[in-house]
Amino acid sequence: MSLQQKSFFPVCLIGILCFFCSCHSGTSKEDNAFSNDSTVIATGKFLFEKNCSACHGFSKDEIGPALGHVTGEASAEWLHRFIKDPQQMFSSGDKRAIELRKTFKTVMPSFAALKDDEVGALLAFIYANKVSAPLANKGDKGIQDPIPEKIKSSSLVVDLEQVAQFPATNNKDELPVTRITKMSFLPHIGTIFVNTGIM
Ligand code: HEC
């Protein structure tokens, strides 16, 4: 090895090391912890609509908390663990999980069957939908008493007369269990037809 080659080798090595170090510190930054690849986000959207949107929105709490701020408040790693097993997070004494349980009083189902890259896709979608404005109903305990004044009772009396009783449809020994599913009046023959179903 010539002198020139000898000094070139360590320089290369340092260069390579720096390259790997910069990659590593890049991924630990919050913004880079979530993929911005449009295909990954689309997969996340699909998974979110299938598994999560029944309980979660982004700007308003529903059955579960609004997720519009969550990628700014919790780390990608925490979110990953939580989605896979919320119960475990709660039992292990995680502060955020305990607070959430106190507020929402419902247990989020665990999604342990989701693969790591599927959770990653969900997080990419959640990150892509982050909301910068304050969330709509944080701390809102819902409608307390929508009609504070008592409704006065009217003097109206409706005099009802029993006309007919439908017979029990599934068990003769019990009370009628028939439920009206459709009632139609046929004016041209002046008859009421009742279509019934069993409860
Ligand atoms: C049946 C309703 C329900 C479903 C379905 C559901 N969640 Fe949840 N989620 C909750 C509730 C309730 C909480 C509050 C924590 C608790 O009580 O376990 C929660 C909490 C969370 C949190 C923590 C929020 C925070 O502020 O830290 C994340 C993240 C989350 N859910 C993501 C998801 C994702 C992703 C899915 C779909 C894979 C999903 N959830 C499906 C009800 C649900």
The structural domains of the chain, with segments of one domain joined by +, span 30-128, 166-199
Q: How far is the CA of 135 from the centre of ligand 1 (A)?
A: 16
In the chain, which residue ranges form alpha helices assigned H by DSSP? 3-28, 38-51, 70-73, 76-84, 86-91, 95-104, 116-128
Q: What is the three-class DSSP state of 127?
A: helix
Atom of ligand 1 lying closest to residue 48 CA? 37
Question: According to the model, what pLDDT value does residue 22 have?
Answer: 42
Q: What is the three-class DSSP state of 185?
A: strand
Q: Taking Cα atoms as reference points, which of 117, 124, 129, 5 lies closest to residue 59?
A: 129
Confidence of residue 21 (pLDDT cuts 50, 70, 90): very low
Specify the fold of 30-128.
Cytochrome Bc1 Complex; Chain D, domain 2 (1.10.760)
pLDDT at 84 exceeding the cut of 70: yes
Is there an atom of ligand 1 within 6 Å of 135 CB? no
Region 10-36: mean pLDDT is 52
| Alpha-carbon span 51 to 164, nearest angstrom | 47
Pocket mutation for ligand 1, best pick of 51, 94, 108 (most atoms within 8 Å of C-beta): 108
Q: Please enumerate, as own/partner, the contacts of 187-196 that have beta carbons within 8 Å and a separation of 24 or more.
A: 194/166, 196/166, 196/169
Question: According to the model, what pLDDT value does residue 24 have?
Answer: 39
Q: 65-69, 125-129, 147-151: which range is least confident on average?
A: 147-151
Pocket mutation for ligand 1, best pick of 47, 49, 52, 105 (most atoms within 8 Å of C-beta): 52
Look at the block and give the residue holding tokens 């908390």.
65
Atom of ligand 1 lying closest to residue 101 CA? 17
Q: How far is the CA of 70 from the centre of ligand 1 (A)?
A: 11
Model confidence pLDDT, tens digit, residues 158-197: 888 888 776 666 665 666 666 666 777 777 777 877 766 6
Rg (CA), the chain: 31
What is the phi/psi pair of residue 66, to 5°? Answer: -65, 140
Contact (CB, 8 A) for 60 and 66: yes
Q: How far is the CA of 136 from the centre of ligand 1 (A)?
A: 18
Model confidence pLDDT, tens digit, residues 130-158: 998 888 766 555 566 777 788 888 889 98
Structure-token pair, residue 47: 């998974």
Contact (CB, 8 A) for 86 and 107: yes
| Alpha-carbon span 34 to 38, nearest angstrom | 12
CA nearest ligand 1 atom 6, residue: 52
Contact (CB, 8 A) for 192 and 184: yes
